[in-house]
Structure 1
Amino acid sequence: MKDETRTIIWPVYLDSGKSKSAGRKIPKKQAVSSPKLREITQAAKKLRLNPSVEKYKSYPSSWWEGSGRIIIDRKMSKKEVLIKLSNLIKGSRKDK
């Protein structure tokens, strides 16, 4: 049964190195290069989205890459969440 209060975030959704047809969901200018599960999880925690990580899952169209996924609370549209996560990841990378 599908849970309408949670949504799945795959790293490929935020990856500027992937094409839209390969799974990227936001514009390339707003995406980040090779987002890590840890970065996405930290950004989701900052947004209070209650993230839970599933490390050993694989994005269906690239099943050979063990990318993992994050399940978060649905508090806004998926695109809004992805853009906010991407912006937080970019911000945390600049601090380093």
Structure 2
Amino acid sequence: MKDYEKQVIWLDYFNSSYSRSQGRRISRNRSIKNPILSDLLEAAKRLNLNPVSHEVIHPKRTLINSGYISITKKNKKTLVLQDIAKMLTIVKGETKKSSK
């Protein structure tokens, strides 16, 4: 049953290797290449969105592992996506630095 108090944020919304018709919802200059679910979860936690992660396969891409987070509704989805995209680039940069 659909929960109208939650928003679903797919990992594919932030993948710069996808076109808009393939599911990307953020502009290319704000999106990142091949984001991972743990980074998306961390970005949403830093924004206090109370995320819950789900590792599932996106309906459009049945051969590629993906996932989504569900968050409580606070704002319009486009505004939330922009905030998450900004934080996701910060989190991704920190993970790159720590892995070197």
Write the mapping of 1:12-91 to structure 2, written as runs, cut at 5 A: 12-55=12-55, 57-91=56-90
C-alpha distance in 1, partners of 2:79/2:16?
Answer: 17
SS state at 1:35 partner: coil
Query: How high is the TM-score relative to the length of structure 2?
Result: 0.87
C-alpha distance in 2, partners of 1:32/1:40?
Answer: 11
Deviation digits for residues 33-57 of structure 1, max 9, x if unmatched? Answer: 11110001001111111111111x1
Query: How high is the TM-score relative to the length of structure 1?
Result: 0.90
- RMSD, matched Cα: 1.2
State the Cα distance separating 1:94 from its structure 2 match: 3.0
Aligned pair count reads 95
Deviation digits for residues 51-72 of structure 1, max 9, x if unmatched? Answer: 11111x1111002112121111
Moved over 2 A (4+): 92-95
Q: Structure 1: any 5+ residue segments left out of the alignment? A: none
- Residues 43 and 85, structure 1, Cα contact 8 Å, conserved in 2: yes
Tell me the percent identity.
33
